[in-house]
């Protein structure tokens, strides 16, 4: 990659952003320390809802990490030059997101040191155990992928490594979906549609994250993106959003078809108070329909519009995961089908949950880790995409 000399102003701006990111990482550490010292009693979680807001942040970053590499796959495997120029940046952002997501996932456990037990005592029947190898393989292949793209002598290996990376990330995202698909005791989960649904969701979320990062880098470097390339990426984002909305609709329609699932679906889509509101307003309206309107209605390609649509897709992803993860746990377990269940442990009741400040700060801390890795690595490697049609703003 080309080297770049940074001005004093740019250096100050860079260090200010690093300091801001480090501050949020530190706040995330304080949140983790508080939860570890006092237990989950300081969170909104309880015996019914054991995966809270931190899992929403973690699952988003893990799924988006896989989706970001889709940009590199389009360029490396399918030979699309505009996307190939973005492969190094996609690889760096993917690694950063996965590190941030796994950090939140591990620190939310309360005893992160127990990951050593999971790593040294493999349980082949556990999807969580599979993910140890999937995440390790992702890091290894992503590092090799970056090496083949950044080192000219290794360029000949970029396509085979990219193909292996593409296959591995599909398996990894399927594994994330299978974590929920194998939880048959929860009526929200236990569906064979979840692995492919998570794969398609990763395409949309990863593209949205990449477009935001790319826009920030171009603004930082005082450059504008070729409208033709922006239009292609915008249309691809729209295709992924439509596909995601379709699979989410099929998932809910399939559940509605089975009598045992109708109670849960009515809870999520109509009767669940906050959850239907977040689903319809947060995911369907703000996270899907409005971005599609921004993508396809304007006649002229506009970077600000594309970034706005991407940010809305990201907001919609958090809304969908909030409903899927928290709403799925809030609905009572069907321990004895056909019978009403009640106990002092609130069996048979809809669980209450309100996220606490430590949970939110832990999730934001994970995003800050991804932000720090991205901003530092892109400055060191200078991975801004170089297109022949990209021109400086001052030359317009």
For residues 119 and 56, give the distance between their C-alpha atoms in angstroms, rounded to a whole number.
Answer: 24
For residues 13 and 203, give the distance between their C-alpha atoms in angstroms, rounded to a whole number.
Answer: 31
For 307, residues 6+ apart whose C-beta sits below 8 A from its C-beta are 211, 212, 215
Phi-psi region of 390 (alpha: psi -120 to 50; beta: other; left: phi over 0): beta
Per-residue confidence (pLDDT) for residue 392, from 0 to 100: 42
Per-residue pLDDT in tens (0 to 9) along the chain, 396 residues: 444 555 555 677 888 899 999 999 999 999 998 888 888 888 888 888 888 999 999 999 999 999 998 888 887 887 788 888 888 899 999 999 999 999 998 887 666 777 777 677 777 777 777 888 888 889 999 999 888 888 888 888 888 888 998 899 999 999 888 888 887 767 778 888 999 999 999 999 999 999 999 999 888 878 888 888 888 999 999 999 999 999 999 999 998 888 778 888 999 999 888 999 999 999 999 999 999 999 998 767 788 999 999 999 999 999 999 999 999 888 887 766 666 766 666 666 788 888 999 999 999 999 999 999 999 988 888 777 776 544 444 343
For residues 80 and 291, give the distance between their C-alpha atoms in angstroms, rounded to a whole number.
Answer: 25
Per-residue confidence (pLDDT) for residue 10, from 0 to 100: 64
Per-residue confidence (pLDDT) for residue 237, from 0 to 100: 95
Q: Mapping DSSP to helix (H, G, I), strand (E, B) and coil, where does residue 224 land?
A: strand
Per-residue confidence (pLDDT) for residue 285, from 0 to 100: 96
Domains in the chain, ordered, with CATH?
A: 8-382 (1.20.1630.10)
Alpha-carbon distance values, 1 to 33, 261, 328, 383 (Å)? 40, 53, 46, 7
Per-residue confidence (pLDDT) for residue 40, from 0 to 100: 80
Per-residue confidence (pLDDT) for residue 4, from 0 to 100: 52
């Amino acid at each position: 990659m080309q080297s770049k000399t940074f001005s004093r102003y740019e250096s100050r701006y860079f260090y200010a952003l690093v300091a801001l990111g480090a501050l949020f990482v530190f706040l995330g550490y304080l949140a983790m320390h508080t939860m570890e010292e006092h237990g989950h009693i300081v969170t909104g979680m309880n015996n019914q809802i054991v995966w809270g807001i931190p899992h929403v942040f973690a699952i988003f970053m893990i799924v988006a990490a896989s989706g970001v590499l889709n940009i590199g796959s389009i360029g490396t495997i399918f030979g699309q030059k505009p996307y190939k120029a973005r492969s190094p940046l996609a690889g760096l952002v993917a690694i950063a997101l996965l590190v941030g997501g796994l950090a939140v996932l591990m620190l939310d456990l309360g005893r992160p040191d127990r990951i050593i037990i999971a790593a040294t005592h493999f349980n082949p029947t556990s999807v969580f155990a599979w993910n140890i190898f999937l995440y390790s393989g992702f890091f290894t292949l992503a590092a090799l992928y970056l090496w083949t793209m950044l080192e000219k002598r290794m360029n000949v290996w970029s396509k085979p490594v990219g193909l292996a990376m593409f296959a591995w990330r599909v398996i990894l995202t399927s594994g994330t979906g299978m974590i929920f698909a194998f939880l048959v005791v929860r009526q929200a989960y236990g569906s064979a549609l979840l692995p492919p649904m998570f794969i398609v969701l990763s395409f949309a979320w990863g593209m949205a994250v990449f477009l935001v990062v790319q826009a920030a880098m171009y603004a930082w470097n005082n450059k504008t993106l070729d409208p033709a390339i922006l239009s292609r990426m915008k249309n691809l984002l729209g295709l992924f959003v439509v596909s995601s909305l379709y699979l989410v609709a099929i998932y809910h329609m399939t559940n509605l078809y089975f009598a045992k699932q109708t109670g849960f679906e009515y809870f999520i889509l109509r009767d669940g108070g906050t959850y239907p509101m977040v689903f319809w307003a947060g995911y369907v309206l703000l996270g899907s329909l409005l971005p599609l309107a921004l993508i396809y209605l304007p006649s002229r390609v506009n970077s600000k519009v594309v970034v706005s649509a991407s940010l809305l897709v990201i907001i919609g992803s958090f809304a969908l995961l909030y409903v899927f993860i928290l709403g799925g746990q809030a609905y009572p377990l069907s321990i004895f089908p056909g019978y009403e269940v009640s106990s002092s442990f609130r069996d048979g009741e809809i669980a209450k949950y309100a996220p606490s400040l430590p949970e939110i700060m832990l999730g934001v801390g994970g995003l800050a880790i991804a932000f720090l890795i991205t901003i530092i690595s892109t400055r060191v490697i200078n991975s801004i995409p170089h297109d022949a049609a990209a021109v400086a703003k001052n030359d317009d």
